[in-house]
Structure 1
Amino acid sequence: MPLLKHNGGVTSSFPPPAAARPIGPFDLGVIGAGLAFAESLGKLTDALCAGGIAGTAVVQAPPGTGKTTLVPPLLANIAAANIAAANIAASAVAPGKTGVRGPRVVVTQPRRVAARSAARRLATLDGSRLGDRIGYTVRGERVSGAGTMIEFVTPGILLQRLLADPGLETVDAVILDEVHERGLETDLLLGMLAEVRELRGDLTLVAMSATLDAPRFAALIGSRQGGNHDDGGPAPVVDCPSALYPLETEWAPAAAARLDTRGVTRGFLDHVADTAAASHAAALAADAGVDALVFVPGAWEVSHVAARLRSRVAAEVLELHGQASPAEQDRAVSGREPGGRPRIIVSTALAESSLTVPGVRLVVDSGLSREPRRDTNRGMSGLVTVSCSRASAKQRAGRAARQGPGRVVRCYDQKSFGAAPAHQTPEIAVADLTGAALVLACWGSPGGRGLSLPDAPPAAAINEAVEVLRELGAVGPDGLATDLGKTLARIPADPRLARALLDGAATVGHRTAAETVAVVSGDQRAPGADLTRLLATLRSGKDPAARRWKEDVRRMEAIVRKEDAAVERSQTVPPVTAAESVGFVVGLAFPDRVARRVPGAGAQYLLTSGTRAGLPAGSPLAGHEWLAVAEVARAEGRDAAGTGAVIRSAAPLTADTAEAAARHLLSDAVEAGFTQGRVTARRERRLGAIMLASTPVRPSAAEGRAAVARALAKEGLGTIGWSTAADALRRRLALLHRELGDPWPDVSEAALLSRLDDWLAPELEALAGGAATAGVDLTDPLRRLLPWPDAARLGELAPEALEVPSGSRVRIDYPDAEHDDGRPVVAVKLQECFGWADTPRLAGGRVPVLFHLLSPARRPLAVTDDLASFWSGPYAQVRAEMRGRYPKHPWPEDPWTAPATARTKSRM
């Protein structure tokens, strides 16, 4: 790379001498002045340019070192040198045929505010106008042009471009920043761009991380062919020493708990605000130029803490979160104006990495973050408040020491810090993967097969996502995207919303469908969960986010108008009123979330999926019978009407429109059941789990048989009930089957249920026809299983009773039919067995009877299956203990010769 070399190597000191400065579009000496990463530019250049061709690398550098500012212009200079060299070569072959294209470097930032801020800072350092040489593109906003050399984008924008242009033919280099955050879209880009490099050896690919995960990413993007490591090994890692100044850490745990069942406690948030106010006042006393950055988990918490701070400090309090307008976000991350008031920025994890907030020398950290989680049982996804990882806590703290000695105050104790996870959970492991699955299907890697991803998507989650896509018609049997799927992928919304945009346009109009999908796919929070009210605010232009929303609407409306003719619609839909149009489109997208109010349960709603959810307190939607729910989440915070799930966004519907939107969930069937000993049936009309109508009807014979079969399968033969006689016969048969085997039948529950037609068919038919179980005795049905002619020996092999020496016939208690062991037992008064020496045996002599010899009060005195041994031994001790207690009963010294009797001595 001759344009970047000086005396055979790249200078490692910045700013370099004038003669040594690289020739290219960007002056790295000016841009890199004072930035720690300037010392590592030489190493990165060598890594990327080894062998004279473009390569890959992983940059590992702590926050604040300047990697986001310096690496993009370095790659632009490298690309400019490559283009110049290619032009010279082309001119030698065909004079006058050289191109005029400038370098193009695309840099991803995980958040819109970071993309805008990074582009603005680099343009300022370059001395150029934003949008010319350096620009950005985020959803709904583009400040770049044909001459832009460095463009900062969000990962979603680059994914869209990759699907439209898999080779990225006009791009010379791609930089994936903050890969350690493990965002889902960035993970996908890592795998997809690694494949692009297999086809395009001239594409430079750099991944940048602020943590020590660099070797992992180096292995992922390492070249399999060509490049600067022909052996297929990992990409080189270029690191940079920390640029942090000394950092003081203080622990200030709150007396109140940080979290309870409703989310972050107000007491803890008040503690964070008060700690921030006191800490900032102390910092200002020492240095009037200190600003503070306060980390809390979500937008609601930001507003709460900011409001409390405004009543306690003279500083300017700014809010930074995803729902703030672009202007508010940009103002928060820009420095204090000369002579301006001290500032306290209250932020979500938005400010954790990716950008430097000028002037911040104090960080107050709640130690909490909001991460996506998927509730598989309820079929919903949402953000859950958890303790932030130790890596995140360190990054937050580092914001205080980027521009001078700093201080971090952690509003929790060291034990909680040590117990926190080391790293944030990768989004691919916990998020809804429907959109990702569509991207992978369009890329030609269904489910991620064959793609080198940092983590494979969980099998259950990706299979569920693919099934959703199949229902939408977005993927074919081979898992690859259909033409419709490719169209859905071009729409900047969840695939379900994208399909609703196409389907709903024919009923509510292109404009209304686009407006609805744009507002649902945006990140504005609907006040009181009322989506219609939010839409009205955006239409009026009063909401700061209206401009971005209108851009999304314009784009979506253009797509739906273009694709309208090609969309196949299975059936016509009745007219939908304007008041229901928003709800109708939402219902088309999420039919499983169409909901009906639960009678007598206040603000509780039952979704067609079977989940119950509640409206937030004071919602203007309360009272509507039907809702189409756009967002429902686990009850994390305010209110969920006691259901454990809260409706975040919804629009009203009527019953007819709800049925039209979720029509494939409609069912009308007779449901027969076997309860309280009889078959009953009702005709039920349902919308998923929601009962629309239920009328008692007479079941058919087939429905009755099915109902009885289901009851028996679920509850067993106890549904019919065992009479005393039936249970006794079953126990006798079970003993014979255990001891003798065939032909004696297996009468265990499982065996009997498996051959109902062999022994219970007439009774089942009677029950199916409406007979009551009270009229069914299982004794005779069991006799149908007796093997003939062996059945004639049943009384001999397993008699019902046993005649004892006193002449009494005593019932034999056989073991339970479900037990694989157990003995037949005869419980009889001891005196009735005098002189009995040989213990009776059953089942052809295989099983001795176990005697429970009882006192006159019928309490056990001895348990034995060897009567002869009992009379010769233990009897003497029993006699000594009992003769005084029961003097009216015989206790002879010689039990062998005494007459067996059931009577007292006087009656003998």
Structure 2
Amino acid sequence: MHPDRAAAAAALPVRRAVPALAAALAGHGAAVLAAPPGTGKTTYVPLALAGLTPDGTPGEGRVVVLEPRRLAARAAARRMSWLLGERVGGQVGVTVRGEHRPGSRIEVVTTGVLLQRLQSEPELDGVGTVILDECHERHLDADTALAFLLDVRAALRPGLRLVAASATADTGPWARLLGDAPVVETAAALHPVETVWAPPPRPLPPPHGMRVDPALLAHVAATVRRALTERDGDVLCFLPGAGEIARVAGMLSGPFEVLQVHGQAPAAVQDAVLAPGERRRVVLATSVAESSLTVPGVRIVVDSGLAREPRTDHARGLGALTTVRASRAAAEQRAGRAGREGPGAVYRCWSEAEHDRLPARPRPEIELADLTGFALQAACWGDPGASTLSLPDPPPAAALQAARTTLRAIGAEGPDGRVTDRGRRLARVGVHPRLARALLDGAREVGGRAAAEVVALLSEPPPRGAGDDLTAVWRALRRGGRPADAHAARWRDEVRRLANADLPAGGGGNDDRVAGLIVALAFPERVARARRGGYLMASGTGAELADGSALAAARPEWLAVAVADRPAGSASARIRLAVVIDEDTARLAAASLLARGEEVAWRDGDVVARRVERLGAIELDARPLPDPAPGLVAAALAEGLRTEGLALLDWTPAAVALRERLAFCHAALGEPWPAMDDESLLAHAGEWITGARARRRADLRRFDVAGALRNLLPWECAARLEEMAPERIEVPSGSRVRVDYSGERPVLAVKLQELFGWDAAPRLAGGRVPLVVHLLSPAGRPAAVTADLASFWGEGYRAVRAELRGRYPRHPWPEDPAQAVATRRVKPRR
């Protein structure tokens, strides 16, 4: 180690843990290092394990340090090289996408780089130790890399040493994954940090989607100004994204320097943040600065309390970042930045009561993200279902299934579930599988260079303020002017990398055709066609352009949507970046979604039969179908009934009566007698509506409902219907009286004189249900109700006779009705 920097390294708390860590690796081959931010775990430990410190204990081979972010990887390599008095590329190197400066003893790489290396060279020849830094952040690539490394250690390199380095004390899961590995802990050397609760003056709505309330951003800026007046030292302010950083920066001015740090910040800004400033500084940063970077001079942290997490709508094929409340663990990480060089303070822009309600820790990315890239990595590794990988958390089944469906659609996974040769080639491109597919297939149509330029543009978020016209953004990047200033260098590096991927030769076209084809190849389900009030994407999701955008003013018929999200509570997606295409481009790029067929459906009271051509959910062409199949017609009629209800049919008295009899049998006897309630009839409408030669609402009014209901009866029920639930019953007078089945119990309503001599009414449903008799007066009005005629003749009849005989003298009122002759006639006049 360079003697001028040895004193700085000697002050790092993690130095005291190096002997224990070396012993753990010597005895077990793996260890978990728990060391809070600022203790030196990212910089001193790799140097010690490579034998580049006075107390170092080198193992065999080089040390590879795995970082989740490019910014953190570059910073770690620079810091270690500074401690050695060297430049990056000597004994300490760095490899990230677009930059490769290998070191002879230590190499700092991003998780994506290591995954690519493991797929092509799983033995990791020449590597003795791999350190997985910031594993507590639970990035998907980091979890995947650890699972692959555990496989390598078990099957190919038993001597490969693994260190899981975490900034939190929650080490149990990592120790178990590493085979009950020893845990080496380092106490924090942080200075005290005072907490200042600084909520907004009035309650603000919670974040939703990507939107952050402007009032909160104004309050954060005011809190920064307050902290500058109340405390000494530089300010580190945490905000959820680059857009919010830019807006807060615009609200700050004074005798201090404002620096903006995020994943897309220029390298010069990143370098300036990591070096001491000549004057007081305000560093506005995303969560990238929580634990991976040490910013010198910071004694104050202002925390907005917000973070960004991925969200994926697998049903609609939409994925985006969303703004969420930061967890308590993240808040502690952020606060610790104020106490690295001396006593400090954290200003939290929320209340202490709100803090207690925050989630304990952030959710792992594997639970939230699009898993298509992960699924391809797992398939190339030989485990398409990720069933044997030693992951901290398993992938959600639905998300993994959606990812594998996408892989099959782009030819990366075969019918047998295994990765194809095409899939392996897509994985080697080093971008999302959708973009890799667009690069390889698009190069044949528009040329490799043009395809690489558009794919490079799609591989990162577009420049802030660039608008929603992707072609215009692409042209600005080619010119090198605004809005591409901060992106142009990275974009050019990525274009060079992608263009060297042995791409097929192809033609060309104007900018819209080239960009549109590449976007549509990457996201075929997002091809969209104009309709009233917006657009319909091939996935079936409605979409809208922002008011006032350049694309909205042009109102093109077809779009290829590159970036879209669905705001909370909205049924439609919001188009953030798209390109104008024509129908031919849509058909070419989304050919897998083209379908032709016969469509018979219920629409506006009619059965509409057509031959239809569709691109997913988008209707391209339709022609009348003169003679549709009867089964399709029946299904459409059934759908019409389910949509509009049974009132579409003409329920004649006979049909109503039959339905009531069948409902009685189902209630009394159960299966196989069919249920007759609306829900059941509609659920099985396709069975009993079959044979209806109907195409319009008026035709259904002529449909024989009673006949259809009889057709629902199994033959054994049809043969016994009259026995179980007779339509009419013959009474002693000879009359055949209709039974009313509309109530809870069947009812026989008959004049009292017609039942003389009848001591019991019949029981229905095979003797299970007694018939309720409504005894009527000669005028047909109810005189009595009974289910036991014998008891009525003996007890109730006298009262009825006394009341009615004077009113109806021409009707017989015998004293002993049980022995009288039933009649429906009156006495003859004298």
The bucket for the TM-score relative to the shorter chain is 0.7 to 0.9
SS across alignment from 1:436: helix
Counterparts of 2:724 and 2:456, CA distance in 1: 81
Q: In the alignment, which residue of structure 2 is the partner of 1:265?
A: 213
TM-superposed CA distance for 1:163, in Å, is 1.2
TM-superposed CA distance for 1:752, in Å, is 8.9
Counterparts of 2:47 and 2:717, CA distance in 1: 96
SS across alignment from 2:740: coil
| 2:705 equivalent to 1:778 | yes
Contact conserved, 1:616 with 1:647, CA < 8 A, in 2? yes
Q: In the alignment, which residue of structure 1 is the partner of 2:600?
A: 672
Code of the aligned partner of 2:293: L
Instruction: Quickly say closer, same or farther: Cα 1:874–1:302, change in 2 above 3 A.
Output: farther
Code of the aligned partner of 2:215: G
Contact conserved, 2:190 with 2:336, CA < 8 A, in 1? yes
TM-superposed CA distance for 1:793, in Å, is 7.7
Counterparts of 1:872 and 1:315, CA distance in 2: 109
Contact conserved, 2:6 with 2:83, CA < 8 A, in 1? no
User: 76, 95, 102: which is aligned to 2:50?
Assistant: 76
Contact conserved, 1:323 with 1:524, CA < 8 A, in 2? no
| 2:478 equivalent to 1:530 | no
SS across alignment from 2:467: helix
Q: In the alignment, which residue of structure 2 is the partner of 1:570?
A: none
Q: In the alignment, which residue of structure 1 is the partner of 2:559?
A: 627
Bigger CA drift: 676-685 or 485-494? 676-685
Same amino acid, percent of matched pairs: 49
Instruction: Quickly say closer, same or farther: Cα 1:894–1:438, change in 2 above 3 A.
Output: same
User: 39, 44, 47: which is aligned to 2:21?
Assistant: 44
Counterparts of 1:76 and 1:122, CA distance in 2: 12
Contact conserved, 2:754 with 2:823, CA < 8 A, in 1? yes
Q: In the alignment, which residue of structure 1 is the partner of 2:123?
A: 167
Code of the aligned partner of 1:269: L
Q: In the alignment, which residue of structure 1 is the partner of 2:252?
A: 309
User: 157, 161, 169: which is aligned to 1:200?
Assistant: 157
SS across alignment from 1:68: coil
User: 553, 556, 562: which is aligned to 2:498?
Assistant: 556
| 2:634 equivalent to 1:708 | yes
Code of the aligned partner of 1:706: L
Written as runs of structure 1 = structure 2, the 5 A alignment for 1:61-460 is 61-77=35-51, 103-142=61-100, 144-145=101-102, 147-198=103-154, 199-222=156-179, 234-254=180-200, 255-259=202-206, 263-283=211-231, 287=232, 290-310=233-253, 313-337=254-278, 340=279, 342-460=280-398
Instruction: Quickly say closer, same or farther: Cα 1:257–1:694, change in 2 above 3 A.
Output: same
Q: In the alignment, which residue of structure 1 is the partner of 2:726?
A: 799
Unaligned runs of at least 5 residues, structure 2: none
User: 726, 729, 746: which is aligned to 1:824?
Assistant: 746
Counterparts of 1:44 and 1:631, CA distance in 2: 46
Q: In the alignment, which residue of structure 2 is the partner of 1:540?
A: 479
Contact conserved, 1:810 with 1:828, CA < 8 A, in 2? yes
Code of the aligned partner of 2:183: V
Q: In the alignment, which residue of structure 2 is the partner of 1:100?
A: none
Contact conserved, 1:888 with 1:904, CA < 8 A, in 2? no
Counterparts of 1:789 and 1:549, CA distance in 2: 76
TM-superposed CA distance for 1:216, in Å, is 1.0
Cα deviation, 1:820-851, whole Å, max 9, x if unaligned, reads xx531345688987997533423454421124
Contact conserved, 1:30 with 1:125, CA < 8 A, in 2? no
Bigger CA drift: 802-811 or 412-421? 802-811
SS across alignment from 1:775: coil
Code of the aligned partner of 1:137: T
Instruction: Quickly say closer, same or farther: Cα 1:353–1:814, change in 2 above 3 A.
Output: same
Counterparts of 2:614 and 2:97, CA distance in 1: 40
Bigger CA drift: 520-529 or 744-753? 744-753
Code of the aligned partner of 1:268: L
TM-superposed CA distance for 1:771, in Å, is 9.3
SS across alignment from 1:132: coil
SS across alignment from 1:629: strand
User: 53, 60, 63: which is aligned to 2:34?
Assistant: 60
Instruction: Quickly say closer, same or farther: Cα 1:888–1:126, change in 2 above 3 A.
Output: farther
| 2:783 equivalent to 1:850 | no
Instruction: Quickly say closer, same or farther: Cα 1:682–1:245, change in 2 above 3 A.
Output: same
SS across alignment from 1:32: helix
SS across alignment from 1:446: coil
Cα deviation, 1:186-224, whole Å, max 9, x if unaligned, reads 0001111111222213322111001122121122123xx
Written as runs of structure 1 = structure 2, the 5 A alignment for 1:425-824 is 425-525=363-463, 527-542=466-481, 543-561=485-503, 564=504, 576-599=509-532, 601=533, 604-622=534-552, 623-635=555-567, 643-674=571-602, 679-700=607-628, 702=629, 704-712=630-638, 715=641, 718=646, 722-733=651-662, 735=664, 746=674, 763-764=691-692, 766-767=693-694, 772-780=699-707, 798-802=725-729, 811-814=738-741, 822-824=744-746
Instruction: Quickly say closer, same or farther: Cα 1:739–1:408, change in 2 above 3 A.
Output: closer
Contact conserved, 2:612 with 2:622, CA < 8 A, in 1? yes
TM-superposed CA distance for 1:48, in Å, is 1.8
Counterparts of 2:719 and 2:416, CA distance in 1: 64
TM-superposed CA distance for 1:537, in Å, is 2.1
TM-superposed CA distance for 1:488, in Å, is 0.7
Cα deviation, 1:472-508, whole Å, max 9, x if unaligned, reads 2212344332221111111121111111111111111
SS across alignment from 2:493: helix
Instruction: Quickly say closer, same or farther: Cα 1:414–1:827, change in 2 above 3 A.
Output: farther
SS across alignment from 2:620: strand
Counterparts of 2:191 and 2:716, CA distance in 1: 98
TM-superposed CA distance for 1:466, in Å, is 1.5
- Tell me how many residue pairs correspond in the alignment: 813
TM-superposed CA distance for 1:447, in Å, is 2.2
Please report the TM-score for the alignment, with normalisation by the length of structure 1. Answer: 0.80
